[in-house]
Amino acid sequence: MRRPKGQGPTTVRASDGADAKHLEEFARSRRGVEGFVEPRTAVSDVTIMLVAHDGEWTRRRVPSVQWAHAFANKHGIPSYDAAVVGYPARMREWNRRQKQNGLS
């Protein structure tokens, strides 16, 4: 039995300039931003999650773990390995508030 056309294995989109631009804008426009670098997995490339002081967050693909930490250093953002330290409680609280307000 053959797979329907277009139903083959998926490919993961690589990071691009739009990802870097988005990260820069988030870091520039929010206070207290920290970076949480997420390692490559079987289903996703390396990503960095930026979390602001109020828990608002964004995640984008990046070229490498080294790139993510260098990005954070360049922008004066502390960066951590998410697999080691986990995620801040303020991010989970922000998600909860968004859900309560019907925004997510």
Q: What is the pLDDT of residue 103?
A: 76
Q: What is the pLDDT of residue 16?
A: 74
Residues of the chain with pLDDT under 50: 1-4, 6-10
Written as one string, the DSSP assignment of 44-59 is ---EEEEE-TTS-EEE
Task: For residue range 35-53, list pLDDT tens digits in order.
Answer: 999 999 988 899 999 999 9
Q: What is the pLDDT of residue 5?
A: 52
Architecture of domain 17-100: 3-Layer(aba) Sandwich (3.40)
Task: For residue range 67-76, list pLDDT tens digits in order.
Answer: 999 999 999 9
Give the pair of three-digit tokens for residue 53. 């002081």
Q: What is the pLDDT of residue 104?
A: 65
Number of residues that make up the chain: 104
